[in-house]
Amino acid sequence: MKAAAAALLRKTRSLARRIRKLFRAAVRDDYQDRVENELKNFAQLANVHELPMIFHYWSNKYLAPKLNNFGITDPEHFYFLYVQKLHDHLPDRP
């Protein structure tokens, strides 16, 4: 009885290893397909940093007024203020 159970356990483990190997290969292939699709999408764009017009509408209507309350006028100013605050807080660090 123990021998039969041990043999069954070995076969089950072997099957599990084969399934795991196939699954990993499928996941790897799926990931590679998604990477290739993204590369194709971006290859067709003239300017990958160009944002859709809805972004500008949304950011000017909703985001800019909230940031203006803190004295922030544009994205560069946002980063500048917080880098400056960090420098003022830790003046000895480069």
32-56: pLDDT as tens digits: 888 999 888 888 877 867 888 999 9
Residues 39 and 69 in one domain: no
Domain boundary among 17, 34, 50: 50
CB 35 within 8 A of CB 45: no
Segments forming the whole domain that contains residue 70: 51-94
If 0-12 CB within 10 Å is exposed, 13-18 middle and 19+ buried, where does residue 81 land? middle
Token pair for 56: 């500008």
Residues 44 and 74 in one domain: no
Whether the model clears a pTM of 0.85, i.e. scores above it, the answer is no
Residues 63 and 46 in one domain: no
Residues 1 and 22 in one domain: yes
Residues 60 and 36 in one domain: no
Percent of the chain clearing pLDDT 70 (strictly above): 98
Domain count, the chain: 2
